[in-house]
Amino acid sequence: MKNKKKENQIDRKIRTCISQVNMNDRTYHCEVFYPTLVNFFYGGNGSGKTTIARRLSSRKGLVWELNSNRAIMHMVFDEDYIRNNIVCYDKLPGVFTLSSEDADIRTRLITATNEKKEITNDLADKNKRLKEIIGQKTFLNAEYYSKVWERTKALREEDFPKSQDGYKSSKQKFFDELRRHMCVRIDFYELRTAYERVFSLNTYTPYRPIDRNCFPSEPDVLRKSFISQSSTEFAHFIRALGNLDWVKEGKELYLHEDKCPFCQSKINKNELIRNITACFDEQYQEDFVRLKEFAEQYSDAYLMIRNVLELNIDNPFPISDIQKQNYQYYTEMFIDKGRNNIIFLGQKLKEPSLLLTSNEFEDLSPYLQKLSKYTDDINSSMTDYLQSSGISAQKSTVLNRIWSYMAYECKDLLEVYENKKQQLDYKEKEFSEEIANLNERLLECDAVIDELSAYTTNTHVVMREINKTLLVLVSDGSIFKKRLMSHILTN
């Protein structure tokens, strides 16, 4: 009786438009069930719940009531639908998108954002490793610069010192030059003999050039008479005697005690100095300082050029008689005229009121111009001679052999260095290329994110605007505000 009652209850269940479902898929083979309006499917993982949902979604195996297949829209809300149409925004509970198009954009945006994060992390790691490789190369260079430098010390400093012009102070410069040469096994004693023979030849050194612009420009006070314009009675008296320059010199040379240097009478030294100083006004002092500075600079330039000219005259290169005579003549003229100019400058310093004429203080530039021209001509002749004599070629050949010999003596060090450097160069190139590719991908991700962001709503911005509006609408101190503050959107 009870079983009959239970069957009647089942029969009274509300039927749906789908009268029968034929299952012939994974898990189920030729299975049939008759759905009602509400149906429950339960079971463990892998029991076939998803298979049933997908069967219903595909409309395959469904038997419909008469005309129901066309009249009723068929929709299935399963995991596939959720995955394709619903996407949550970050970690904001209750905020999501319900649209296949928006969900697709949001999914692509999240994918692009995650990809950008991965690229950024990978880029930071690659840059760090590249920096480490560059540091290893720097350490490798410094290590082998020192090793090669120490091994060749005797060769550089004792055996072949004249071959090291330009390479005596820089380990790196020496190492780079050594790498340019092939490692060749050469008999040391034969090489040493060739070195002594070639470098003992008189290869000559060029005449030193002359700096024609080293002389300072003449100040305007050089060729004018300047005197003090002070208006004290003592100054008028001294100017009337015409002894202003003598007073200045006497003050500096003789006035050291409280006695007159001539009659030995006791004097008020401070008062006398004030009267003497008053004779020399501010403009006078400025002119004198300018004249003194010019005299010092002129004397230094004269001595420098004179030293260069005398060294050139002592140069053993065999120049022609006419070149020798001309160079000697203009050198003597320069020395003589320059000495006179310095003498006249000394007189001008002692007597600033003295007028110097062009004959007394002569321009030396014409002599320097001639000497510069002769220097260039002589150096050109020297170059032609060295080339025609073959000395330069012999010297160059021996130099190359010396470098090749030193390279052979450091062969093992150079081979180890080259191998290690090649490995580091390869890694540096590899990481540099990877970094370049990652930067390109990062730019592409940024472009995709910018494009997709134009179709989505910035949920964080909207949330902040909603919170701001709610806070404005609630009055200060109200109970509602206190409750609202605990539920305000903060995630």
Instruction: Answer whether residue 82 is part of any domain.
Output: no
- Domain boundary, last residue among 213, 246, 280: 280
Q: What is the per-residue pLDDT for 142?
A: 95
Instruction: Answer whether residue 276 is part of any domain.
Output: yes
The rounded percent of the chain whose pLDDT value lies above 70 is: 69
pLDDT digits (tens, 9 = 90+) for 1-55: 555 555 555 556 777 777 788 887 767 777 887 887 777 777 777 777 777 877 7
Q: Provide the token pair at 151.
A: 């091994």
Which has the higher per-residue pLDDT, 206 or 82? Answer: 206
Instruction: Answer whether residue 70 is part of any domain.
Output: yes
Same-domain check for residues 264 and 403: no
Which has the higher per-residue pLDDT, 281 or 344? Answer: 344
233 pLDDT above the threshold of 60: no
Same-domain check for residues 399 and 362: yes
Same-domain check for residues 351 and 296: yes
68 pLDDT above the threshold of 80: no
Same-domain check for residues 261 and 344: no
Same-domain check for residues 393 and 289: yes
375 pLDDT above the threshold of 50: yes
- pTM for this entry: 0.43
What's the whole-number mean pLDDT along residues 211-233? Answer: 74
Same-domain check for residues 389 and 299: yes
Same-domain check for residues 317 and 247: no
What's the whole-number mean pLDDT along residues 239-245? Answer: 50
Residue 262: band (very low, low, confident or very high) from pLDDT cuts 50, 70, 90: low
- Using an 8 Å Cβ cutoff, are 442 and 158 in contact? no
Instruction: Answer whether residue 298 is part of any domain.
Output: yes
Same-domain check for residues 367 and 218: yes
Q: What is the per-residue pLDDT for 309?
A: 93
pLDDT digits (tens, 9 = 90+) for 384-418: 877 767 777 888 899 999 999 999 999 999 999 99
What's the whole-number mean pLDDT along residues 301-326? Answer: 90
Same-domain check for residues 243 and 301: no
- Please tell me the distance from the alpha carbon of residue 271 to that of residue 282, in angstroms, as a whole number: 19
Same-domain check for residues 155 and 238: no
Specify the number of domains making up the chain: 4
Instruction: Answer whether residue 99 is part of any domain.
Output: no
Which has the higher per-residue pLDDT, 468 or 60? Answer: 60
Tell me which residue range forms the domain holding 371.
202-225+284-409
pLDDT digits (tens, 9 = 90+) for 132-177: 999 999 999 999 999 999 999 999 999 999 899 889 999 999 999 9
Instruction: Answer whether residue 4 is part of any domain.
Output: no
Q: Provide the token pair at 268.
A: 């008020």
